[in-house]
Amino acid sequence: MAVPLTLYTLVVLPFLAALLIAFGSDRGRALHSGLAAAGSALGLAIVLAVAGRVIGGEVLAVSAPWVPGIGLDFSLMIDPLGLMFAGLILGIGLLVVIFGHFYLASGEATGRFFASLMLFQGAMLGIVLSGNVLLLLVFWELTSLSSFLLIGFWRDKAEARQGARMALAVTGGGGLVLIAGMVLLGSIAGSFDLMTILQRGDIVQASPLYPVMLVLILIGCFTKSAQFPFHFWLPHAMAAPTPVSAYLHSATMVKAGVFLLARLWPVLAGTDLYTVIVTSVGLITMLLGAWVALFKHDLKGILAYSTISQLGLLVMLLGFSLEMAAVAAVLHILNHAAFKAALFMSAGIVDHETGTRDIRRLGGLAKVMPITAVVATIAAAAMAGLPPLGGFISKEMMLDETLQISLFGLPWLVPVVATVAATLSVAYSLRLAIHLFFGKPRDPVPHAKAHDPGIGMWASPAFLVILAVLLGLVPMALAGPLVGSVAGAVTGAPVGYLGLSLWHGVNLALGMSMAAVAIGVLLLWRHAGILRRYEAVRHLDAKEMFDRAMGLADRQVRKLIVATHTPSLQMMLFATFAVIVVLITEGALTGGGNLTGTRAGQPASAVAIIAWALLIAATIAVVLAQRQRFLVLIYISVIGLIITLAFVHFSAPDLALTQISVEVVTILLLLLALNLLPKTPPLLSSNPRRIRDVLLAIGGGLGVGGAAWAMLTRNPNDPISSFHLANSYSGGGGTNVVNVTLVDFRAFDTLGEIIVLGIAGLAIFALLDTTARGAAGARLRSWQEDMPHSPERHPLMFVMATRILLPLVLAAGIYIFLRGHNQPGGGFIAALVVAIAFLLQYLASGFDWTDARRRVGEHMLIASGVLIAMATGLGSLLFGANFLTSAFGYFQVPLVGEVELATALLFDIGVFAVVFGAVMLALAQLSQISQRAARAHAAQVEAQQQEDQR
Amino acid sequence: MTLEFLVASSIGVLVAGGIYLALRGRTFQVVLGLTLFSYAVNLFLFASGRLTLNAPPIWSKTVSDYADPLPQALVLTAIVITFGMTAFAVVLALRSFLETGSDQVDGDDAPCAPGDGPSADARREPRA
Q: Which of A639, A697, A822 is the closest to B16 by Cβ?
A: A697
- Amino acid A245 reads S
A659 Cβ under 8 Å from any chain B Cβ: yes
pLDDT above 50 (res B121):
no
Provide the 8-state DSSP code for A239. G
- Residues of B whose CB is below 8 A from A619: 13-14, 17, 36
Q: Which of A599, A626, A655 is the closest to B46 by Cβ?
A: A655
pLDDT above 60 (res B118):
no
Q: Please, which residues 70-129 of chain A have a Cβ atom closer than 8 Å to chain B?
A: none
Burial class (CB in 10 A: 0-12, 13-18, 19+), A481: middle
Q: Render A823-880 in DSSP notation, one character per residue.
A: SS--HHHHHHHHHHHHHHHHHHH-HHHHHHT--S-HHHHHHHHHHHHHHHHHHHHHTT
Q: Do B23 and A574 touch (CB under 8 A)?
A: yes
The minimum CA-CA distance between A663 and chain B, rounded to whole Å, is 9
Of A117, A260, A80, A251, nearest to A175 by C-alpha is A260
Q: Do A571 and B107 touch (CB under 8 A)?
A: yes
Residue A681: is the preceding peptide bond cis (ω within 30°)?
no
pLDDT at A914: 94
Give phi and psi for A893, each to the nearest 5: -115, 130
Residue B77 is assigned to a structural domain of this protein: yes
Residue B41 is assigned to a structural domain of this protein: yes
Burial class (CB in 10 A: 0-12, 13-18, 19+), A602: middle
- Residues of A whose CB is below 8 A from B47: 708, 711-712
Give phi and psi for A24, each to the nearest 5: -100, 30
A563 Cβ under 8 Å from any chain B Cβ: no
**In which domain, by residue range, is B26 found?**
3-55+65-101
- Residues of B whose CB is below 8 A from A604: 1-3, 5-6
Residue B113 is assigned to a structural domain of this protein: no
Separation of alpha carbons A320 and A781, rounded Å: 76
Q: Do B90 and A724 touch (CB under 8 A)?
A: no
Q: Which of A682, A705, A929 is the closest to B12 by Cβ?
A: A705
Separation of alpha carbons A517 and A628, rounded Å: 93
Residue B120 is assigned to a structural domain of this protein: no
CATH of the domain at B85: 1.10.287
Confidence of residue B119 (pLDDT cuts 50, 70, 90): very low
Q: A84 Cβ partners below 8 Å, 6+ apart? A: A330, A333, A334, A482, A486
**Helices and strands in chain B, H and E counts:** 3, 0
Q: Which of B28, B76, B98 is the closest to A738 by Cβ?
A: B76
pLDDT at A680: 64
A319 Cβ under 8 Å from any chain B Cβ: no
Nearest chain B residue (CA) to A919: B84
- Residues of A whose CB is below 8 A from B127: 684
Q: Render A613-674 in DSSP notation, one character per residue.
A: HHHHHHHHHHHH--S-HHHHHHHHHHHHHHHHHHHHHTT-HHHHHHHHHHHHHHHHHHHHHH
Residue B110 is assigned to a structural domain of this protein: no
Residues of chain A with pLDDT under 70: 1, 497, 499, 501-502, 626-627, 680-685, 895-897
Separation of alpha carbons A98 and A489, rounded Å: 32
Residue B123 is assigned to a structural domain of this protein: no
Residue B114 is assigned to a structural domain of this protein: no
pLDDT at B114: 38
Quote ipTM for the complex.
0.86
Q: Which of B14, B52, B60 is the closest to A651 by Cβ?
A: B52
Residue B109 is assigned to a structural domain of this protein: no
pLDDT at A896: 66
- Residues of B whose CB is below 8 A from A707: 44
The residue among B1, B5, B9, B15 with the most chain A CBs within 10 A of its CB, best to mutate, is B15
Reported as half-sphere exposure (CB side, CA atoms, 13 A), residue A453 has a value of 24
A583 Cβ under 8 Å from any chain B Cβ: no
For chain B, the average pLDDT equals 81
pLDDT at A681: 55
Q: A872 Cβ partners below 8 Å, 6+ apart? A: A884, A903, A904, A906, A907, A910
Nearest chain A residue (CA) to B3: A604
Nearest chain A residue (CA) to B29: A626
Q: Which of A636, A707, A776 is the closest to B95 by Cβ?
A: A776
Separation of alpha carbons B41 and A651, rounded Å: 18
**3-class secondary structure, A791:** coil
Q: Do B59 and A639 touch (CB under 8 A)?
A: no
Of all helices (H) and strands (E), which one includes residue A399?
Answer: helix A390-402
Global pTM value: 0.69
- Residues of B whose CB is below 8 A from A920: none
pLDDT at A626: 66
Reported as half-sphere exposure (CB side, CA atoms, 13 A), residue A910 has a value of 27
Q: Which of A602, A652, A915 is the closest to B67 by Cβ?
A: A652
- Residues of A whose CB is below 8 A from B24: 570, 626, 682, 685, 693
Q: Render A285-322 in DSSP notation, one character per residue.
A: HHHHHHHHHTT--BHHHHHHHHHHHHHHHHHHHHHTT-
The residue among B58, B63, B85, B125 with the most chain A CBs within 10 A of its CB, best to mutate, is B58
Separation of alpha carbons A270 and A439, rounded Å: 49
pLDDT at A573: 87
- Work out how many domains chain B is built from and give that number: 1
